[in-house]
Structure 1
Amino acid sequence: MDHTATLLLGAVTFLLAGVVKGTIGLGLPTIAMGLLGLALPPATAAAVLVVPSLVTNAWQMLAGAGLGPLVRRLWPMLLGVVAGTLAGSRLFGLAGAWAAAGLGAALTAYGAVGLAKIRLPTPTPAQERWLGPLVGLATGLVTATTGVFVLPAVPWLQALGLGKDDLVQALGLSFTVSTVALGAGLMQERLLDPALAGLSVAALLPAAAGMALGRVLRERVSEPAFRTTFFWGLLLLGVWLLARSAA
């Protein structure tokens, strides 16, 4: 793919991903990885999404008033995310020949979980203390090998019984930490160079424009219907990536 086509693909991808995030509050990195993964190696796609993912999720993280209590509650999970991502980047990494298949599997699984509306049981405080770090470690390993950091973190956070605003802020916190860890893992493996960093910064503009459009769209469409469409899209995109990897 030539440079112009890459820029066009990136602009359209981050505009669409921003629309999704602006409408339902999540999905920018997942959509970006899936669509960019159709034409670019997963490691390149992950490098391009670092800056827009970091900025948009940090914005979501800082928007609420309950950040301090969330950090105190979730830090064992977040530490697991960092450890899992850095270890996974060193052991497996996004540069592997099977990374595209891993990305397809992650998107398929997330789409299926979303469509099935699977909800984990709420853990007791004692269970949360030891399960949290394991969830973080697993999320970090998935992040390092696919560039997608929603599983199993999102179902776990949804199971904690947080209020709506706290859940949105907790997702922003988890995704921010995952993005920082992913960026560190890419740099550790020398997969994030100045050229890709420049493309990542440039992707901020379409992502921000998409989020603005998404907020307008939120007032005009049914959020449950949009979520269903989103999860079907991820499922089909994941299946396509898996089929192409197997071909």
Structure 2
Amino acid sequence: MDLSHVHLVWLLPPEFAHASVWLWLGLGLVFMLGGTVKGVLGVGLPLVVVPLLSLMLPTPTAIALVAAPVLVSNLWQTYDSRASRHNLYRFWPLIVSLLLSTLITVPLTLQLPATVLNVMMAVAVITAISLMAFNPKVHIAKRWERWAGAAVGTLSGAMGGVSSLTGPIIITFLMALQLKREEFIGTISVIYLFGAAPLYAALWWYGRLELSHIVVSVVAMAPMALGLSLGKRVRTRVSEVLFRRILLVFLLCIAVALLSK
């Protein structure tokens, strides 16, 4: 037996302790693809990575493995945004309801069978596809903004607790407020951070996010960075509309695969 392998096994999640080279290769390709999508569209890393990994691994493990890229990227964007304090004040009903809804949903979903989690993940992906495809045009009056934000936070937290995909509903809400580009980026990063932090804290508390998952997640940032670089090149050569359509078809295929898993 390879002694170096024995010493390194404790660093890996149970699913990777005896993993074949194909699983590691698949992990790298999935994160590179997720990075490519984020490089082209600016969003979409968990939307691509988590459902794809769920085809190879248990859904809670798939969610745990995106912890490092999600937390690091949103921490940086939050720090880099000058509008962070204003965003906290303006969107506190959304942020508080998102946090509470996530903390309530995670322990409930962890008790569900794997087949049910796969179906719920597929529904979350289909919801995201629908919002991206139809891009509903809504207008929210100023007096209803906080109430609408609380409802959006609750729905997004429930969706994020199941799949980590909090983004689609929140993006639709923020687009309805017609925020300027820099304000939008600052706002979405703060909200994502307050959605991701309780999600991964809850997974850690219930034993579904361990140091070994974080190790693999950090390693996976390398192919993700490669994908980001590739995505920036693709962005200048391929129409964003065409790329978005291809992505939607691809995600629909993933959702069907999850339903049949």
Provide TM-score, normalisation by structure 2: 0.86
Q: Please state how far the C-alpha of 1:178 moved relative to its aligned partner.
A: 1.8
- SS for the counterpart of 2:179 is coil
Which whole-Å deviations, capped at 9, do the CAs of 1:70-100 have from their partners, x for residues lacking one? 2221222111111111111122237643111
- Shift in Å at residue 144 of structure 1? 1.0
Correspondence 1:117 to 2:127: no
Q: Judging changes above 3 Å, is the alpha-carbon distance between structure 1 residues 110 and 230 closer, same or farther for their aligned structure 2 residues?
A: same
Pick aligned residue for 1:104 from 119, 122, 141:
122
SS of 2:185's equivalent in the other structure is helix
1:203 — aligned with what?
A: 220
Is the Cα–Cα contact under 8 Å of residues 42 and 94 in structure 1 kept in the other structure? no
Deviates further, 144-153 or 11-20: 144-153
In the TM superposition, 1:24-39 aligns within 5 A as: 24-39=41-56
CA–CA separation in structure 2 for the residues paired with 1:13 and 1:211: 12
The Cα shift of 1:205 comes to 1.2
- Say whether the 8 Å CA contact 1:105–1:239 is kept in structure 2: no
TM-score, length-normalised on structure 1?
0.90
Q: Is the 1:86–1:181 Cα contact (8 Å) retained in structure 2?
A: yes
Q: Whose radius of gyration is greater, 1 or 2? A: 2
| Residue ranges of structure 1 left out of the alignment (5+ in a row) | none
Report the Cα offset of residue 69 of structure 1: 2.2
Q: List gaps (5 residues or longer) in structure 2.
A: 1-14
Alignment match of 1:142 (pick from 149, 159, 162): 159
Q: How many residues align?
A: 243
Structure 1 residue 66 displacement after superposition: 2.7
Aligned twin of 2:240: 223
SS at match of 1:92: helix
Q: State the identity %.
A: 28
* Contact 1:10–1:36 (CA under 8 A) maintained in structure 2: yes
Displacement of 1:63 after TM fit?
4.1
Q: Does 1:232 align with 2:225?
A: no
